[in-house]
A and B are shown apart, each in its own frame.
Chain A
Amino acid sequence: MSEQLIGQAHLNIGGKVLAAIDPSVYSESVAHYAAWAAHRLAAPLEYLHVLDRHPEHAESKDLSGSLALGAQDALMKELASLDESKSKLGQERGRLLLKHAQAIAQAFHGVEAETKLRHGALVDELTQQEADVRLFVLGKRGEHADFAKGHLGGQVERAVRAVHRPLLVVSRAYTEVSKILVAFDGSPTTRKGIEMIAGSPLFRGMHVDVLTVGKESDAASQGLEWALSTLTHAGLGSRGLVVAGDPEEVISRRVNEESVDLLVMGAYGHSRIRQLIVGSTTTSVLRTCRIPVLLLR
């Protein structure tokens, strides 16, 4: 619980916006959204590209099964040079990608961005840097993800589970954000979320709708009323709605009908077992909605 509060509070307190850039088609949109958020939050912006090696996967195969003179040395040389050329290529490509993202931030949003090129695994890098981050920005799918329609990147899913900061998972194309939809269930997490939205410069002057999925009840409408008054108080134009049905279906229908620009919702639970079983709503909403989703922890 306390972890969740800290996570949300972080969007409005110090720390940088950290965006993960990779060679996928999402990279440009990640650059845009991150720069947009950094600009509105007046936060430092950093683009990160992680060169992940896959040593568990063999590149070359020689099935001859024979050991010639000095076989071990020869193999060592071959494998090392293979890795070397791959790493060099990866570094070069990484620098280009980061430079491109930097240029986007500069040209379209007037934001100066730092860049960082690291070896390792993306999720490890993200969690390591977490302490100085207020918002993570990631593409819905990475370079390695299966491009079958609606498939969520494995890296993204792991990142969503691993980090304890707000995380903006962006879609393929960047559009100006003005219309927000908040999935609200009256829980302490989402209540904190409403307060965070109300207090954040990220959403200043925007139109925020609040959606509660579930049966009409006193508790639901009371909660909704509280949310709406909090938002209106903060000067955000807002409407509330209670709709019964399957959360993921209701949310994505609403997103499409109202052409929402950004969805805000709670992320996976924190307990280990829940991480494995529950959280499927988050995953499927991420999958089905073709708009950026801000996940709160």
Chain B
Amino acid sequence: MNKLSTLRQDWLGNVRGDLLAGVVVALALIPEAIAFSIIAGVDPKVGLYASFCIAVVISFTGGRPGMISAATGAMALLMIGLVKEHGLQYLLAATLLTGVLQIIAGALKLGSVMRFISRSVVTGFVNALAILIFMAQLPELTNVPWAVYAMTAAGLAIIYLFPRLTKVVPSPLVAIVVLTVVAILLKLDIRTVGDMGELPDSLPVFLLPDVPLNLETLRIILPVSATLAVVGLLESLLTAKIVDDLTDTPSDKNREAMGQGVANIASGFIGGMAGCAMIGQSVINVKSGGRGRLSALTAGVVLLMLVVFAGPWVKQIPMAALVAVMIMVSIGTFSWGSLAALKTNPKTSSVVMVATVVVTVFTHDLAKGVLTGVLLSGLFFARKVGQVLHVGSTSHEDGRARHYTVTGQVFFASADQFIAGFDFREALERVRIDVGRAHFWDLSAVGALDTVVVKFRREGTEVEILGMNEASATLVDRLGVHDKPDAVERLMGH
């Protein structure tokens, strides 16, 4: 009963809003799908079929109602090499494998790994994505007649100024229609969508990728598929989080991961490329009043109908109009607030963000950028926590004995600092080291303590260690903090 009513709410809770938003999203998806196909180096129909298929399938299988998934720039950028060297059929096979990997990730509940991705990495991801989308437009803007610049500028003007007149009609659509009409009337000799490759002329059909089923194929597609799967999940779960925040509703991240996998498999079987959730489109969807699963379904279906039945007109759209739309998407995706925050945020956070962006922009691979960011934030965190360590001491027995008291965190990042806290030059008969208020987190910490003991012994000093049991409780991997309410208290306080 509960499931049934959730289902009803997900699908029929907001019918009017979802239908309208779905249409708006479909109109915005068309230029993006075409543009991303061009980035990947395939015919526009590959991206359009993919966008249709992913949007429709994810509306059933996804874990985040109101989120829009389709062919995306982040994924397209990862396919360029594969398409260039091996062709479309290998891309389709890689798409299928991507889906399988994502389903496995979802089944293993890897969605929870997202918690290791800090806010700075997320900001870096979003900014890098925006920059990549923008850079992908540059080929359309270099060595072209002046008319293209004029058209692009006019397109941007319409997109940003038209909403001041009315918010009932999507301004990107107005820009595309106006620019197309102008280009046809003036008989401008500029590139159009039709020049970029084949458009869909029919409904998609089921087909198997035409690749040999052997290990060689797997060797070719596996690295690409693995990266695609990771980037797809990253952007999807990130977007899910954004939609969660916008709508103040929860989502099922693991179901979303598996749903993305199913959608990609379906896309691969009808000749589409791999895709994932789209930040920009999801924001547009929520802004247009989309909340339920119906909006993604509507977006997919309307997109296909428009493209199949309005194909001849879609062909005439000048590339300049698409470039304008994509520039808007990149500007809207970029987190401008993060630039201002560079001054006020902690230096380490800024470094993490910028490093994520720089690595991504240079490698064109969001996975590498995010990995860099995660590693850096981990190291910075270790360094910070390593500073929480104090070695104090008091002299006893007329200078013949010394009591050291260690307080704080001892682990790989603070082991050297720990050793440096002891004065081995002091001639002593006895040393007492109280580690009862310290935490030994790893073997580096234990090794450092061993070093200290051996060094003292060599100086002819007797060493006594107090509180080792408490200090090494943290060595055990499973701290069992959860099973006693006072465990955390004791861990931090002893």
The residues of B that contact A162 with a CB separation of less than 8 Å are 1
Q: Does B287 contact A (CB under 8 A)?
A: yes
B291 near A75: Cβ-Cβ < 8 Å: no
CB B494 to nearest CB in A, in angstroms, measures 39
Known contacts: A56-B13, A65-B284. The answer to whether A70 contacts B1 by CB under 8 A is no
Known contacts: A55-B248, A55-B249, A79-B246. The answer to whether A66 contacts B1 by CB under 8 A is no
Known contacts: A58-B290, A79-B246, A161-B1. The answer to whether A68 contacts B160 by CB under 8 A is yes
A292 to B24, CA, bound (A): 48
Greatest chain B CB density within 10 A among A60, A65, A68 is at A65
A272 to B337, CA, bound (A): 52
B290 near A70: Cβ-Cβ < 8 Å: no
Q: A50-64 vs B: 1/0 string, CB under 8 Å? A: 000111111011111
B286 near A57: Cβ-Cβ < 8 Å: no
Known contacts: A57-B14, A69-B336. The answer to whether A75 contacts B283 by CB under 8 A is yes
Chain B binding site: helix, strand, loop or mixed by DSSP?
Answer: helix
A76 near B167: Cβ-Cβ < 8 Å: no
The residues of A that contact B162 with a CB separation of less than 8 Å are 64, 66
Interfacial residues of chain B within 356-408, with CB under 8 A of chain A in the complex? none
Greatest chain B CB density within 10 A among A64, A68, A71 is at A64
Q: Does B163 contact A (CB under 8 A)?
A: yes
> Of the candidates B21, B159, B170, B287, which one forms a contact with A75 in the assembled complex, judged by CB atoms under 8 Å apart?
B287
Stretch at the interface among B135-143, B324-332, B469-477: B324-332
A56 near B170: Cβ-Cβ < 8 Å: no
> Of the candidates A60, A72, A272, which one forms a contact with B289 in the assembled complex, judged by CB atoms under 8 Å apart?
A60
B328 near A58: Cβ-Cβ < 8 Å: no
The residues of B that contact A53 with a CB separation of less than 8 Å are 248
B9 near A56: Cβ-Cβ < 8 Å: yes
A54 near B1: Cβ-Cβ < 8 Å: no
A297 to B352, CA, bound (A): 61
Q: Does A158 contact B (CB under 8 A)?
A: yes
Interfacial residues of chain B within 264-288, with CB under 8 A of chain A in the complex? 279-280, 283-284, 286-288
A275 to B5, CA, bound (A): 14
The residues of A that contact B24 with a CB separation of less than 8 Å are 63, 65
CB A290 to nearest CB in B, in angstroms, measures 28
> Of the candidates A55, A60, A69, which one forms a contact with B331 in the assembled complex, judged by CB atoms under 8 Å apart?
A69
Interfacial residues of chain A within 47-106, with CB under 8 A of chain B in the complex? 53-58, 60-73, 75-76, 79-80, 83
CB B414 to nearest CB in A, in angstroms, measures 38
A64 near B163: Cβ-Cβ < 8 Å: yes
CB A146 to nearest CB in B, in angstroms, measures 15
CB B37 to nearest CB in A, in angstroms, measures 21
Interfacial residues of chain B within 95-118, with CB under 8 A of chain A in the complex? none
A69 near B332: Cβ-Cβ < 8 Å: yes
Closest B-chain residue to A57, C-beta based? Answer: B14
> Of the candidates B14, B21, B173, B333, which one forms a contact with A67 in the assembled complex, judged by CB atoms under 8 Å apart?
B333
B169 near A63: Cβ-Cβ < 8 Å: yes
The residues of A that contact B290 with a CB separation of less than 8 Å are 58
Q: Does B27 contact A (CB under 8 A)?
A: yes
Closest A-chain residue to B4, C-beta based? Answer: A276
A69 to B13, CA, bound (A): 31
B167 near A70: Cβ-Cβ < 8 Å: no
The residues of A that contact B336 with a CB separation of less than 8 Å are 69-70
Q: Does B185 contact A (CB under 8 A)?
A: no
The residues of A that contact B170 with a CB separation of less than 8 Å are 63-66
B242 near A79: Cβ-Cβ < 8 Å: no
Chain A binding site: helix, strand, loop or mixed by DSSP?
Answer: loop
A70 near B337: Cβ-Cβ < 8 Å: yes
A interface bracket (residues with beta carbon within 8 Å of B) = 20 to 34
Q: Does B69 contact A (CB under 8 A)?
A: no
A56 to B13, CA, bound (A): 6
The residues of A that contact B286 with a CB separation of less than 8 Å are 58, 75, 79
The residues of A that contact B14 with a CB separation of less than 8 Å are 56-58
Q: Does B217 contact A (CB under 8 A)?
A: no
Closest B-chain residue to A83, C-beta based? Answer: B248
Closest A-chain residue to B14, C-beta based? Answer: A57
A65 near B173: Cβ-Cβ < 8 Å: yes
Q: Does B172 contact A (CB under 8 A)?
A: yes
> Of the candidates B20, B27, B288, B292, which one forms a contact with A56 in the assembled complex, judged by CB atoms under 8 Å apart?
B292
Q: Does B197 contact A (CB under 8 A)?
A: no
Q: A234-260 vs B: 1/0 string, CB under 8 Å? A: 000000000000000000000000000
A62 near B287: Cβ-Cβ < 8 Å: yes
Q: Does B28 contact A (CB under 8 A)?
A: yes
A196 to B159, CA, bound (A): 71
The residues of B that contact A66 with a CB separation of less than 8 Å are 159-160, 162-163, 170-172, 328, 332
A58 near B1: Cβ-Cβ < 8 Å: no
CB A120 to nearest CB in B, in angstroms, measures 13
A73 to B338, CA, bound (A): 11
The residues of A that contact B248 with a CB separation of less than 8 Å are 53, 55, 79-80, 83
Known contacts: A58-B291, A64-B167, A65-B173. The answer to whether A72 contacts B283 by CB under 8 A is yes
Interfacial residues of chain B within 311-340, with CB under 8 A of chain A in the complex? 328-329, 331-333, 335-337
CB A190 to nearest CB in B, in angstroms, measures 25
B288 near A65: Cβ-Cβ < 8 Å: yes
Q: Does B247 contact A (CB under 8 A)?
A: yes
CB B99 to nearest CB in A, in angstroms, measures 28
A-B contact list, 11 entries, CB within 8 Å = A54-B13, A56-B10, A56-B292, A61-B21, A64-B163, A64-B167, A66-B159, A66-B170, A71-B332, A72-B283, A72-B335
Footprint of B on A, CB under 8 Å? 53-58, 60-73, 75-76, 79-80, 83, 158, 161-162, 272, 275
Footprint of A on B, CB under 8 Å? 1, 5, 9-10, 13-14, 17, 20-21, 24-25, 27-28, 65, 159-160, 162-163, 166-173, 242, 245-249, 279-280, 283-284, 286-292, 328-329, 331-333, 335-337
Chain A to chain B: the 7 pairs with minimum beta-carbon distance, closest first: A67-B332, A65-B170, A56-B13, A61-B289, A64-B163, A58-B289, A58-B17
Q: A57-B17, A63-B24, A71-B287 are in contact. List 11 more A-B contacts (CB 8 A).
A: A57-B13, A58-B21, A58-B289, A63-B288, A64-B171, A66-B172, A67-B328, A67-B332, A71-B332, A75-B246, A80-B248
